[in-house]
Structure 1
């Protein structure tokens, strides 16, 4: 397999379709509508696709899963900055997925691998179960939350131990529940005197907005924390470029 840059593996159209869990025909259709950027043309005029194509396909499929029309999907993608990274696209997909109620399905091990877009080892399935993405429901049956499956599969490739991933998940759940409790209290007090139908309507409109706000705030806060961590490490190591303004270079 070739690469489009030093870090990102390049996929043929067949490999891209397999990883995304769609058909080659679907990839070509989306490309013809401008929903996917053109591939990088390599030797022998073979097109190669990368992580941004995979992330955009996942976002498109998620929007379709939520019942959005093709025209609505096109409008949504046109509003996104053209240089979004796969990570940024994954954040958008998480927001879209959050609009839908939790949906658990029971599937076979073979179907689980097909939906994951890649073969799953026994260890992979155990890690997904530990993250509450899947749960065994029989000899060859698993209950799976389709909205979480793609994110869970991506977590399998994160170079962290399972203990660290689970500890991070516990931390996120605790803080998310605390935020949800406080926000629901504020909203409950704000609509205490309103009709039940008004409360339901407000909840439906507020849900995606609150999720987007939480994701954006968390993303910015995490970026600031990581930048501070990296800057501190560089300063401790005496890395070049960390001199204070006005310091003279050493002879």
Structure 2
């Protein structure tokens, strides 16, 4: 069965996110466990964590997903940002464990002109460091990006190169974002394009690694590198494109 959900706010309390997702008729949901636009955060109160887990179990919603904040850049060469980014990744893996959230989604970052190989090596090192530091069962989902300048992870080959360098590969999965894929040049608007994209993905990465799909239409054109979401069916992928995506047997497993 396909489980469908949305990103919901944690305003008021973490437990409120469960109520919002349930009220919206979701099967699953995604959150930020903290303010995504800043570096500072508070530790999760044990009582808040217990209430979140209780509400989650009672709701029947599964799985819950956490997304990394916006500021971290795992590919950065800036020493200050590198330390902060890696500390945030470690903290989010720990927070997911505390909350009983099985998946954490992360972007791979930007190399700031130092080259894709250098950026990829930094991402690998950051992920290995985090997974070694946090001993829990949380799976880190690497999200494909839209092909913006100096980005790491827009091409399937890039992501494959990162995964090859990860020591604990059993704790790595993938989040496939449709808007990002289209921006990176993978045509999801046509039947032929969808098949070609999924076949290429399977060849380089393995479709079995997809644990989450971010369904977003796009304001950008094919291969534009633009990461601008549009309501489903109202962008360049279009209503027919999403009908094919949602009915595809590979993505319905």
| Same topology, TM > 0.5 | no
> Normalising to structure 2: TM-score of the pair?
0.28
- Pick the structure with greater CA Rg: 1
Greater strand share, structure number = 2
> Normalising to structure 1: TM-score of the pair?
0.28
